[in-house]
Structure 1
């Protein structure tokens, strides 16, 4: 059975009951790339993630947790992994003859800030949170950082073939997309990789991965955390702030986000002047990412509109490279 169709409720409850506490309940929460559950153990609520097989090794997950703990130790608030003994922070369950890693995290009680609440105060907090996160990442020196994959191993190698296989693209459109992808790789290969430019990024820094609690934003879901240019973490916020258009819509909010970020850490000129390029490349990558999952229930209704959107802006990208 495909991973997205699996139901882990029973095996999770069995493992928790046998090894942690019989006073527990397990409830399915969501599926994206991983399976997510809420678990209550002795009246304490936790978030539980079942890792997609072959996506992350145990060593890579350990590196994710080391980085999260470093962030929390340096005043960047992030949902922390939880262990019930010294050696069980990453657990395993078996289902259909496969072994899956899973882990618990602190369950953050708070709110995801919806778009109609994105005022200047929230945008400032969002930008500051990213700035603090990147400032901390620039100081992170643990050897385990090398156990998180580099940007070009996160399904990027398959983009060319995926574009060729999108059936409702014309030959000319495929040619333009493939050229765009070549330009993207060239763009990255010209960027510096010094600590002010390149390090561990969140990779998916949208408001769905930020929980508002009183005056703080708590960062969650570091599953895709990887080694990349810091400009990548701007792509999703700026995309959302422009209402998904390659334009200057909501320029005041974008400027506030960048100003708040720069109050916490430096933003090299070469990154700042190319933020729209990062935004555009992320959109191209998401198109290919969705095309791999276009038949899954969660994504099949999203892909057609996403494809139409991308085609509409195909001509914009070459003009962004400066």
Structure 2
């Protein structure tokens, strides 16, 4: 989890329409459709949803003093490994500089940013999930764990767990 002070400084840039000039500045590295960037959530990272050429994407960024670049690089390597497995995972999208991770300095700090393609499908609120949804969720989580168990040890470098 991030520090509340970090969350406060970024969320303070979000206006009444859920837009943020900080997120838009970061997305200049990837390009985006004008007026399509909206705050989605904050947890260990900040997440914004946006469109580029009409296609939905997600921007994920974190304060450089809270997450190490090597950790994010390891996450990207794992996602590239999972791309070739029988499980659908959101894949990172290279920036206009052909980088998966961009370090962006803003007026409120320096952030590591990654953009992901959106996966096809629906996202349900927890109260709308039925028994079949839970079954599919569990099966998919099991497939993910099985794929990660088969993952070569070299992909585990830079990750605590």
Q: TM-score range by the shorter chain?
A: 0.7 to 0.9
1:73 corresponds in structure 2 to 84
Structure 2 residues without counterparts, runs of 5 or longer: 15-19
Q: How does 1:1-322 map to 2 (within 5 A)?
A: 2-5=5-8, 6=10, 7=13, 9-17=20-28, 19-21=29-31, 23-25=33-35, 26-85=37-96, 87-96=98-107, 98-109=109-120, 110-112=122-124, 114-119=126-131, 121-149=132-160, 227=161
TM-score normalised by L of structure 2: 0.76
Tell me the TM-score normalized by structure 1.
0.41
Could you tell me how far apart the structure 2 residues matched to 1:66 and 1:102 are?
A: 15
Change (3 A) 1:20 1:128: closer
Aligned 8 A contact 2:23 2:48 in 1: no
Say which structure is richer in helix: 1
SS at match of 1:134: helix
| Conserved 8 A contact 2:104-2:110 | yes
TM-superposed CA distance for 1:133, in Å, is 1.0
Q: Secondary structure at the match of 1:29?
A: strand
RMSD over aligned Cα atoms? 2.6
Q: Which residue is 2:17 aligned to?
A: none
- Deviation track 1:121-162 (CA, whole Å, cap 9, x = no partner) reads 33332222122111111111152312012xxxxxxxxxxxxx
Which entry has the higher C-alpha Rg, 1 or 2? 1
Structure 1: distance between partners of 2:113 and 2:85: 26
Residue ranges of structure 1 left out of the alignment (5+ in a row): 150-226, 228-322
- Number of aligned residue pairs: 148
Greater relative contact order structure (CA < 8 Å, 6+ sep) = 2
